[in-house]
Amino acid sequence: MDFDYFSIEAILAENQKIQCTFKHDIPGMGHLGGGSERDIAMLSKIQIPIWLAYTIIYSDWAEFNIPAPFSSRVRNALKAEACSVRLSNLVGAGGLWYGFGKTIMDIVSDEQANEMSDMLSKAFRDRLLEVVDQAQHFAALGQAGAGSSGNTAQAFREGLDTTERERKSSLHHKNCKIPLEQVQVFYLAQESARRMKRWNEDSDRTRH
């Protein structure tokens, strides 16, 4: 998860929509809301992609609330048990929960940003161990066993953020429930464990 200009993940994360409440009448911009109205009326609520919301919020034309994926309900669920929250279900396609959170973090006030940063990094840390454990477990099973496993583990894997699991993976599909960011970690750990296993088991010295 980097916020490089060329990073597809960053672009996807920025494409999430947030709800903005406009503070002024804005004539001629009704198409932003996707409706057929010509103007944006004061106090109307419109879903705006976050890359556009930056400017609008900074220019003080609108304000917004912390979106649902980072609401106190999710916060409490994470506090209770970080591993059981299906993070990528919370955000739309791509499942970039951390990336989305990070973009929000950059807009909100210091105090809120600190709070969000704590939530995001704590969630990531708490889930990391489970991600790596599973990755190693799967590496040990080998490719064949990857399909069948306990339900809890599977549910968790599907709920990973894409940061947690790599995107182009075979396990990944449209309904993936793991945030993208952690998917990458999952795959790196799995690949690493696999290589070690291969090396440890290969004791054929005749090739030398």
Which of 24, 31, 45, 195 binds another protein (CB under 8 A)? It is 195
Residue 124 in the binding site for another protein (CB under 8 A): yes
Residue 189 in the binding site for another protein (CB under 8 A): yes
Residue 129 in the binding site for another protein (CB under 8 A): yes
Q: Which of these segments, 24-32, 58-66, 116-124, 169-177, binds another protein (CB under 8 A)? A: 116-124
Q: Which of these segments, 31-39, 52-60, 149-157, 198-206, binds another protein (CB under 8 A)? A: 198-206
Taking the least distance from each CB to another protein, the nearer of 39 and 191 is 191
Q: Which of these segments, 16-24, 33-41, 127-135, 140-148, binds another protein (CB under 8 A)? A: 127-135
Q: How far is the CB of 101 from another protein (least distance, A)?
A: 8
Which of 78, 120, 160, 171 binds another protein (CB under 8 A)? It is 120
Q: How far is the CB of 205 from another protein (least distance, A)?
A: 5
Determine the distance from the C-alpha atom of residue 5 to the mean position of all C-alpha atoms in its chain, rounded to a whole number: 18
* Phi/psi at 17 (5° precision): -100, 145
Residue 133 in the binding site for another protein (CB under 8 A): yes
* Phi/psi at 90 (5° precision): -75, -35
CB 134 within 8 Å of CB 186: yes
CB 164 within 8 Å of CB 171: no
Which of 64, 70, 98, 100 binds another protein (CB under 8 A)? It is 98
d(CA 27, CA 37): 10
Within residues 38-97, the interface with another protein by CB under 8 A covers none
Tokens, residue 11: 């672009």
List contacts with another protein (CB under 8 A): 1-3, 98, 101-102, 105, 113-114, 117, 120-121, 124-125, 128-129, 132-133, 135, 163, 181, 184-185, 188-189, 191-193, 195-196, 198-200, 203, 205-206, 208
